[in-house]
Amino acid sequence: MSKAVADLVDQYVVMGNPIEHSKSPTIQMAFAKQTQQQMDYVTCLVPIDQFNSVADQFFLTGMGCNITVPFKEQAFAYANVLTERAQFAGAVNTLKKQSDGSILGDNTDGIGLVTDILKNHGGKIKDQRILVLGAGGAVRGVLGPLLAEHPELLVIANRTESKAVALAEKFQARGNIETTGFQQLQGAPFDLIINGTAASLAGELPPIPESVLSAKTWCYDMMYSQTLTPFNRWATDLGVEKCIDGLGMLIEQAAEAFYVWRGVRPDTAPVIGQFQK
């Protein structure tokens, strides 16, 4: 592509550190080809202490970006305008330059998770007993959309329960939400368990009892892997009904970001199929 042509193409990036592993360019360019959008999308490695300056430089000509670890909270502070779901999440994974030059901050993680469960896997959230593991940024980004589907109960379990309590207080007006420490988990099995901890990245399991599972439980690990994550392997070995990893969530949240930027909603099924080959 010549420089003159490239200058006419809207520019998008994913910012993070590290970033070389990101599948976002492949996903977003597949969406662009499918919907015939003239755009380019690349990775951007951001030095840990330089997020604002890198973002400022990008938005001199760029149109939008995705934000990944560890910059979602900095992106939240950077945005001039926040969507409601970004405000509740306290984190931003999508930035968009608006027509007046202001920067819109959004969070598409939660809708990506919910869409994957409901649309791609035919699962249920409404009237279900849901256990969410972890109380960090990943969980904070998905609680609002989960509660919007009206589960019977949503329990946040975390190693340090005080962090779960602080998170639950922010969302308590949106549904029936409780908290517990990992070691205090007890009671009837859950219908859906979502692992929002980073344990799978370290090849570890959250320390939760087998009693939270039944043969009808669905388990969802927000991490994705070429093989079963440690959490999903544990659940599979214990005979749960279904295990899902975060690939579909990744692609669905990317599709929502694409819609925010371009006003066109891509078909995610072919892209999910591309990664599952």
Q: What positions carry a catalytic annotation?
A: 72
What are the φ and ψ backbone dihedral angles of 10, each rounded to 5 degrees? -65, 135
Q: Are 230 and 203 in contact (CB under 8 A)?
A: yes
User: Tokens at residue 152, please?
Assistant: 């019977």
CA distance 193 to 58: 39
Side chain identity at residue 249, one-letter code: M
Q: Which residue has the tokens 């999903």?
A: 232
What are the φ and ψ backbone dihedral angles of 207, each rounded to 5 degrees? -80, 75
Q: Which of 250, 277, 276, 269 is nearest to 34 (CA)?
A: 269
Distances (CA, A) of 59 to 24, 54, 64: 19, 9, 8
3-state SS track over 151-185: CCEEEEEECCHHHHHHHHHHHHHHCCEEEEEHHHC
Q: Which of 205, 187, 208 is nearest to 197 (CA)?
A: 205
CA distance 25 to 22: 7
- What radius of gyration, in Å, describes the C-alpha atoms of the chain? 19
* Cis peptide, bond prior to residue 70, ω within 30 of zero: yes
Side chain identity at residue 262, one-letter code: R
CA distance 116 to 136: 21
